[in-house]
Structure 1
Amino acid sequence: MRRRFAARAGLIVAALFLVAVTLMAVAPGLFTPLDPLATDTDQVLRPPGWGHPFGTDQTGRDMFARVVYGASYSLGVGAGATAAALVIGVVVGTLVGLAPRVVDGVAMRGVEILLAFPEFLIALFAIAVLGPGPVNVATAVGVAALPAYIRVARAETLVVRRSGYVEAARGLGVHPLRVAVSHVVPNTLRPLGVIATIGIGTTIVAAAGLSFLGLGPQDPTPEWGLLLSGGRNLLAQAWWVAFFPGVLITGTVVSATVVGRRLRRAGEGRRS
């Protein structure tokens, strides 16, 4: 009973955290009236207090405002890259699953090779090819996440392909493309939607890592990874500059993982 209560409470906290971060991204003005780019030489490296709950950075900018406005970029990159990887992964995975065995085998060998490498390493390689920049960061982390979606979409397609209603539709002479759109893709989206919920956290971490290395947006853009990078040399004298962006990154990733796993268990329960 206690364990169930703790799990339910953790799920509620995680969901509320994600709602708060989403509101920050969509309507940052609801949380702070301050300009995240405004500097004040009289307020340099002020510790957290009533006027600046997250303190200020080395140019006197309010860290709370920068963290709040940073949610729009970090969450936007994470959600956008995940959505793109999901859509492309469904299309490619479905086509591979419906393709002849030779095409399926060759395509999946390539996917398995990519899956052998960490996603962040693939993102680094992609950004090296594309070049630094905020748009290229989103593209790079989306490319890095793509192989996992292709594999799951292909596996689900093979399961649905052998089901009775799909075999009946094919036996009636229904066009393969119509079968895929009407029956295969909708059933593939259910498990992939759960994976995408967890994947948003992964892409946020990957994008923050690229920004931390200086390969994403540049100062004064209020992006969480860039804020973390800017505070790494100030930990001894101004711990808050790196601490609060790190808390938001960690909290978002953990919350997305908790919600995603709960959705996956619910889906498995319905299947069984």
Structure 2
Amino acid sequence: MRVYIGCGGYSNDDWTAPGLIYEGVKKDHFLETYAGHFDAVELNSSFYAIPGLKAFEGMARKSGGRTRFAVKLNKAFTHDRAPTDADFDRMLQSPEPLREAGLMGPYLAQFPYSFHRTAENRRYLQVLTERFAGHELAVELRHASWDKPEVREGMGEYGLIWVSPDYPPLGGMPEPQVHVTGDVAYLRLHGRNKGTWWEGGSAAERHDYLYSRAEMDEWAEKIALVADDLSELYVFFQNTTKGHALKNIPMLREALNARGVPVRTPEPLAEGAAQDGRLL
């Protein structure tokens, strides 16, 4: 199993703080610096506006061929749920530079908690699946009504990747388990900040959580149990606030390696590349 570990987004201004990876780094060089530390990234900007071909060409170039991109579907697909044919065309065609460079990971459909398991929503998900046929599509379903073996069995039949989440223990959401619906698995670690998950005024507040080493060991154990069933695993830390993810990723790497799950750490950037920042 090849393990890819990264963060939800790479344009995190929090990381310019002293001792973090963007200290002294200009914003234009964030991605180059990021790629020196992590071999995967979840692209958030596409949720708000679908980038064009040139933007994706720039990402492929700046990452130096070192980082896999999971591309989040635009909100038209998951929150408005009224995508036009033009939306589908742009969402499918624009990331072509990543595919040509061998850097394209799965698409991510991040549905809101309000997306319950109803007949209407099941039909919508089937339509979305058909339109993205031939592409890896990971689906995050935040309402507990979807957290059933028969749902995952159906997703496996349609080639969908179940997103295994880690949420605050508040109830009403899927349990923190690694579930496998194919040979690729996808894990999103949101943090466990119970006080801000529903009440937080921003994503930064909701994800303001630093995992303990014991919690990272817990996830490493769960991953090790399914390692033989997978060819690839993507793990994305959403707790980027205050650089929490930068502290947790080395913990998870160590915990996985200790359990016989090999995790690659990116090689140092070539001399002269943008590498002003440090991991910690």
Instruction: Please tell me the TM-score bracket, short chain as reference.
Output: under 0.3
More helix by share: 1
* Bigger-Rg structure (1/2): 1
Q: Please state which structure has a larger fraction of its residues in strand.
A: 2
